[in-house]
């Protein structure tokens, strides 16, 4: 059973493709989705693999292995030193994430991750450029997971708007019309109702999910001016939220041109789906005490392993997830809840 737990917020800096493989539908390479809700997710294995890769880079494992390969059979003393250094780094990596494939049966890793869920999704707005939408479903999932962390919250998530209505803050930047009682998101119009819960949720997310350096975006989500709070946060009915998450992702046409003819190569025309930039997701990470091996002193227990993750791996705040890394896709900023 896990002994330590954290929540990681993931804010997409560039479009992100966490692929589910080929598809017979309209999009050739769709993103991963929950079966029962069709909400986009990033599966835990992809998150764990990306963070492990980041840990290997931060600890210097790749550099050590490259230098060791360059030496080959020369300079035996130096090669032995590099081998010892490699083994020392692997102690940290394998205790936290598990042994490499050829030794996977030795013991499990102490760290576990959950699938990342969307909590804020950006949608084009007639006024205010874009809105961050969420729903009672998305907020209830977040609240349920926060209760696992033992966090008490001052906001509620269960109040579902009527089908043609959206909840907004009392000083929403998105409302239009003489009475300022409508918003238009993509091609959809909603009546608006000011809801104090929107203000509470926007302020909570601003304080806990966004990096301190993101002042402009924090103010866009929640800016207090006297007794009035302006925000571009919108709580939609669950069905409308699901439809936006289904049909408002980015779909990109990809091609490969042959050098000889200057035309599209046979079979090299396809479409890929992406989560748009400025999407906010979260994942839970848990840790047990080491499950085997010979852990270093700093990784003797679950707390030490979580500290290693927070202070030695994720302190860069930047992570790359999903596919198409050569095109700098999938860059996300990581904020550890509460720190």
**pLDDT of amino acid 107:** 85
Q: Is 94 exposed, middle or buried (0-12, 13-18, 19+ CB in 10 A)?
A: buried
Q: What is the mean pLDDT of residues 180-201?
A: 93
pLDDT of 148 over the 70 cut: yes
**pLDDT of amino acid 263:** 66
How many angstroms separate the Cα of 248 from the Cα of each of 123, 273, 291?
7, 10, 43
How many angstroms separate the Cα of 128 from the Cα of each of 176, 198, 233, 275?
10, 17, 11, 21
**pLDDT of amino acid 106:** 79
pLDDT of 175 over the 80 cut: yes
| pLDDT band (50, 70, 90) for residue 267 | low
Which span out of 130-134, 257-261, 304-308, 322-326 was modeled with the highest average pLDDT?
130-134
**pLDDT of amino acid 2:** 81
pLDDT of 275 over the 70 cut: yes
How many angstroms separate the Cα of 182 from the Cα of each of 20, 118, 175, 188?
37, 25, 5, 10
Which of these ranges, 49-53, 74-78, 86-90, 136-140, has the smallest mean pLDDT?
74-78
Single out the residue of 295, 307, 320, 284 nearest to residue 94, CA to CA. 295
How many angstroms separate the Cα of 32 from the Cα of each of 118, 244, 247, 325?
12, 15, 14, 17
* Beta strand residue intervals within 48-163, DSSP E: 111-113, 116-124, 130-134
DSSP symbols for 266-332: EEEEEEEEEBPTT-EEEEEEEE-S--SS---GGGSSHHHHHHHIIIIIGGG-EEE-SS-GGGT--EE
**pLDDT of amino acid 75:** 67
pLDDT of 320 over the 70 cut: yes
**pLDDT of amino acid 326:** 72
**pLDDT of amino acid 71:** 66
pLDDT of 259 over the 70 cut: no
**pLDDT of amino acid 134:** 97
Within the chain, how many helices (H) and strands (E) appear? 8, 16
Triad 30, 36, 40: Cα angle to 5°: 35
- Judge whether 246 and 40 are in contact, CB under 8 Å: no
Q: Which has more pLDDT, 32 or 105?
A: 32
Work out the mean pLDDT of the chain and round it to a whole number: 88
- Mind listing the pLDDT tens digit for each residue in 61-117? 888 888 777 765 666 777 788 888 888 888 899 999 998 877 777 788 999 999 999
Distance CA 305, CA 240 (A): 41
Q: What is the mean pLDDT of residues 10-35?
A: 86
Q: Is 262 exposed, middle or buried (0-12, 13-18, 19+ CB in 10 A)?
A: exposed
| pLDDT band (50, 70, 90) for residue 161 | very high
Single out the residue of 331, 272, 287, 307 nearest to residue 50, CA to CA. 331
């Amino acid at each position: 059973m896990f002994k330590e737990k954290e929540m990681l917020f993931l804010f997409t800096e560039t479009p992100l493709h966490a692929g589910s493989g080929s598809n017979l539908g309209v999009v050739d390479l769709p993103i991963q989705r929950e079966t029962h809700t069709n909400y986009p997710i990033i599966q835990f294995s992809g998150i764990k693999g990306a963070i492990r890769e980041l840990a290997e880079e931060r600890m210097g494992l790749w550099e050590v292995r490259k230098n060791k390969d360059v030496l080959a059979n020369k300079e035996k003393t130096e090669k032995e030193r590099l081998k010892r250094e490699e083994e020392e780094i692997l102690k940290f990596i394998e205790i936290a994430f598990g042994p490499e494939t050829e030794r996977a049966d030795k013991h499990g890793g102490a760290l576990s991750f959950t699938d990342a869920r969307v909590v804020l999704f950006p949608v084009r707005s007639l006024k205010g450029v874009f809105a961050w939408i969420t729903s009672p479903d998305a907020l209830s999932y977040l609240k349920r997971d926060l209760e696992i962390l033992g966090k008490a919250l001052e906001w509620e998530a269960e109040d579902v708007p009527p089908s043609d209505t959206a909840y907004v803050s009392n000083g929403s930047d998105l409302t239009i019309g003489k009475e300022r009682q409508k918003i238009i998101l993509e091609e959809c119009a909603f009546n608006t109702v000011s809801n104090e819960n929107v203000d509470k949720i926007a302020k909570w997310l601003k304080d806990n999910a966004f990096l301190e350096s993101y002042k402009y975006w924090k103010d866009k989500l929640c800016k207090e001016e006297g007794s009035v709070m302006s925000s571009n946060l919108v709580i939609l009915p669950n069905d409308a939220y699901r439809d936006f998450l289904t049909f408002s992702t980015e779909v990109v046409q990809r091609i490969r041109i042959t050098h000889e003819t200057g035309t599209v190569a046979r079979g090299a025309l396809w479409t890929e789906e992406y989560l748009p930039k400025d999407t906010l997701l979260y994942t839970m990470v848990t840790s047990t005490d080491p499950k085997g091996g010979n852990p270093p002193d700093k990784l003797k227990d679950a707390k030490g392993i979580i500290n290693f993750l927070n202070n030695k791996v994720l302190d860069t705040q930047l992570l790359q997830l999903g596919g198409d890394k050569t095109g700098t896709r999938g860059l996300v900023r990581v904020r550890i809840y509460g720190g």
